[in-house]
Structure 1
Amino acid sequence: MTSTDASAVQPAILPGRTRNLLLALLAFTVTFWAWNIIGPLAVQYTADLDLNATQASLLVATPVLVGSLGRILTGALTDRFGGRLMFTVLTAVSAIPVVLVAIAGAVGSYGLLLAFGFLLGIAGTTFAIGIPFVNAWYEPARRGFATGLFGAGMGGTALSSFFTPRMVAAFGYVTAHLIIAGALLVVAVVVWLFMRDSPVWKPNTTPVMPKLRAASKLAVTWQMAFLYAVTFGGFVAFSTYLPTYLHTIYGYDLPDAGARTAGFAIAAVIARPVGGWLSDRVGPAVVLSISLAGAAIMAVVIALQPPPELAAGASFVVMAVFLGLGTGAVFTWVAQRAPAEKVGTVTGIVGAAGGLGGYFPPLVMGATYNAEANSYGIGLALLCLTALVALGFTIFLARRYRAQG
């Protein structure tokens, strides 16, 4: 979203950058809440609609699909139209599928839930707006922290996990969804009134498809896409599927499973800006290596099904911290390596990969669940293996970058 020339002359501190960062964080948080409204209620949908493990996994994973692929287009459009307009439009539009999901659930239609859950993925595309938007407000030395703080808006999944089941219990299923839709519309108005694009931002008016082709030819795009698919994909997968996992393995009811999932998401949210801040200081490769090694170890620990409450809870929190650190590190690396005028487009592709990384694990977990042993061991073993492969790739990449200077 920024231009190379503008970035070169950007003053150290642009007036209003903190306000705009916080507004972007607000919009990202509320849209991520909306994006994740199906996951916290998956246990209820499973019981009401008599779903098997595979059907429940597909229902949870479906919103992730559009939220992933849609980031490619959203990032490119942000380069052209700016974050203020894009945040306003997508936050407001996200209210529509929230209402449609409410209707589908009220009539008890699994098919409609899948269809409207697909549309709900629109809410998950706002990540690709915020990274280039924030990038343009901050000087290179502070971008890791700034994008990490913006990325803490993924805590919207924590809010959804904790509050959505309780709102349904307190106000009723349809009313709870209408409240969330109303919150989206209010935030959209606030963003339009008070958010501004960075004064150094210049629109990139190149047609979208050539921009996507140009970004797809950059090695850094696919390098970071793979790493983000593992780190952020792991976070999304746990955030959406953890209520089902906790209910199946530990027998928690819907509110209790949601509260524990919220704890997982909060830990990742706190760790993400820390990962960006540390990456500014010691380098993203170091932080990412620690993240992936830790995630591999914790996948094994979780597969052993540590007993509740303390041991199991601590295991999931530590896993969340490692994944959160990794998500912050990846986008510090993006800010360092991607051409400034292509940050939005690169972010869209990398963000899409991260979302897709979260789409498949719930399907794998549902397909590999061992009912006789009450175990998700195969899925967690695959997570461990994937993290180790990504760790090896990170080490290789860091050495190559050092050799290139």
Structure 2
Amino acid sequence: MSSTGLNPLAFSQSRIRLLHLSWLAFFITFMVWFAHAPMMSTIREAFSLTDEQVKALLILNVALTIPARVVIGSLVDRFGPRRVFGVLLILAAVPCWLFAFAQTYQQLAITRLALGFVGAGFVVGIRLIGEWFPAREVGLAEGMYGGWGNFGSAAASMSLPTVAVLFGGDDGWRWAIASTGLVALLYGLVFLWRARDTPKGSAYFKPKRTGALEVTSRRDLVFYLAMSVPLYGALLVILWRLGPGNLNLFGAGAQLAMGTVVLALALAQLWQAWRVNRERLAEGVAERDRYAFKQVAILDLAYMVTFGSELAVVSMLPLFFTDTFGLEPVTAGLLAAGYAFMNLVARPGGGWLSDRFGRKKALALLIAGLVVGYFVLSRVNESWPLILAVLATMGCSFFVQAGEGAVFATVPLIKRRLTGQIAGMVGAYGNAGAVLFLTVLTFVDASTFFLVIAGAALVTLLAVRFLEEPHGHIAEVDDQGRVQLIEVG
């Protein structure tokens, strides 16, 4: 791989301006999505919420992000990232404002569920960046987009309490959260005005069929159907966590009804995938159109153990530090925040390693480091010096987030016209991984929790052996029927 010459300060270049325009859009979606987090203690007091109700809100916040990432990915491929990102930002203001000015717990719950769609915004930029940057630079560019944009949640935590104080009064928290919706709406208009789907003169390739990811062999079709099932399984787990016997957000009848809906949607989507691809495979797939679905499946698993474990660990790390070292909650929260701060450099670093040394080699190295990192965390106990525990946490988080960068350094190089859908499925597996690991945490102690993640990462490391290094070119056909070759390695 050639070394990258990407300079993020070269604002005279249209692709660099597009990069900054994109990561800021992602940053704002995450700021809106997690605006409630720093305000949760105030919200709990204002509505007299129980601990179970607070936990239910946190789960509802991520529940719809799993299917939303798949849906958004399909929309991006069909309509283009400029329109999808711009409209998503504008629409995000509505549930944000409804949440900010909710008067009942039911209103909080419904609007929090709706805001899960905002968390799917990440997928949009993956295809957009892939359109603007060549293969030798796409890893670093995607890493900057993901790492800097993901910092929006931390920015919300650091700034919104101060904004609430500036507004003042009992409703200061409401206006602080609502202000993020206004920012999203205004920036959505800016994005529609300034962003472009492709560089001037480049074609935007769209899927030949909509409704499901196109695959290129019958074996891959079965593989695709099998890999789709766990995403709906994660939704059923969420329903179980929210239902009777757990958080009691709703009764057994409602749980059964919603479970039936999830199963019906799963069957409908699986049938759609089968129908679309059966017709296509019966017609025959040209050699230039072929790609291996195993590439997508391996990246699914890799993002599950990287981003999925990040979401899970961020959720439990402050309490882990509190219980293990007897720290005050504020101190524990500040130390745990170091895990998220690594995103600023680790994710771009993972993308750069992929550009410089190869996609497969970089991903394998980083997941191996993740295995070791979580094994070390499983050994942390009260006898450890606190500074050593913090360093172990930071070291592990580097491999986790750099691994995320390496995953999305590969996604845009599989099949250009399907990049949104591939990114959507990979991204959904990240959220499904968080559901899986947090569910495990409800049954085991922290040490075992870290060991389970390490074990899952070890299985993924074995799977990465079968990843194919992108090389040569992928072919796409433009609207005029002309075949265009896109360099991928």
Deviations 1:115-162 (CA, angstroms, capped at 9, x unpaired): 322111111111111011110011121111111111111121222333
Q: What does 1:276-291 correspond to in 2, within 5 Å?
A: 276-291=351-366
Q: What does 1:190-339 correspond to in 2, within 5 Å?
A: 190-198=190-198, 199=200, 200-204=202-206, 206-211=208-213, 217=224, 218-246=293-321, 249=324, 256-303=331-378, 304-305=380-381, 309-336=386-413, 338-339=414-415
The answer to whether residue 150 in structure 2 is matched with residue 179 in structure 1 is: no
Q: 1:160 to 1:134 in 2, by over 3 A?
A: same
CA shift for structure 1 position 326: 0.4
Q: 2:461 aligns with which of 372, 391, 399?
A: 391
* Structure richer in helix, relative to its length: 1
Deviations 1:8-63 (CA, angstroms, capped at 9, x unpaired): xxxxxx951111111000000111122223444556667752315xx654432332
Same amino acid, percent of matched pairs: 29
Q: 1:265 to 1:114 in 2, by over 3 A?
A: same
Q: 1:154 to 1:302 in 2, by over 3 A?
A: same
Contact 1:267–1:324 (8 Å) recurs in 2 = yes
Query: Match of 2:77?
Result: 79
Identify which range, 344-353 or 201-210, moves more after superposition.
201-210
Identify which range, 258-267 or 381-390, moves more after superposition.
258-267
Corresponding letter in the other structure for 2:155: L
CA shift for structure 1 position 354: 1.5
> Higher RCO, 1 or 2 (CA under 8 Å, sep at least 6)?
1
Any gaps of 5 or more consecutive residues in structure 1? 1-13, 370-374
Paired residue total: 377
CA–CA separation in structure 2 for the residues paired with 1:103 and 1:26: 26
Identify which range, 235-244 or 170-179, moves more after superposition.
235-244
TM-score, length basis structure 2: 0.69
CA–CA separation in structure 1 for the residues paired with 2:323 and 2:115: 26
Corresponding letter in the other structure for 1:127: F
Contact 2:36–2:177 (8 Å) recurs in 1 = no
Larger C-alpha radius of gyration, 1 or 2? 2
Q: What does 1:21-100 correspond to in 2, within 5 Å?
A: 21-41=19-39, 48-52=48-52, 56-100=54-98
CA–CA separation in structure 1 for the residues paired with 2:42 and 2:324: 16
Aligned CA-pair RMSD: 3.1
Any gaps of 5 or more consecutive residues in structure 2? 1-11, 225-292, 472-488
Query: Match of 2:427?
Result: 351
CA–CA separation in structure 2 for the residues paired with 1:143 and 1:21: 11
Contact 2:142–2:351 (8 Å) recurs in 1 = yes
CA–CA separation in structure 2 for the residues paired with 1:41 and 1:250: 26
Q: 2:156 aligns with which of 121, 135, 160?
A: 160
Q: 1:119 to 1:86 in 2, by over 3 A?
A: same
Deviations 1:187-232 (CA, angstroms, capped at 9, x unpaired): 2122122222213242516442144677965222222111111111
Q: What does 1:109-188 correspond to in 2, within 5 Å?
A: 109=105, 111-152=106-147, 153-168=149-164, 171=167, 172-188=172-188
TM-score, length basis structure 1: 0.82
CA–CA separation in structure 2 for the residues paired with 1:380 and 1:345: 31
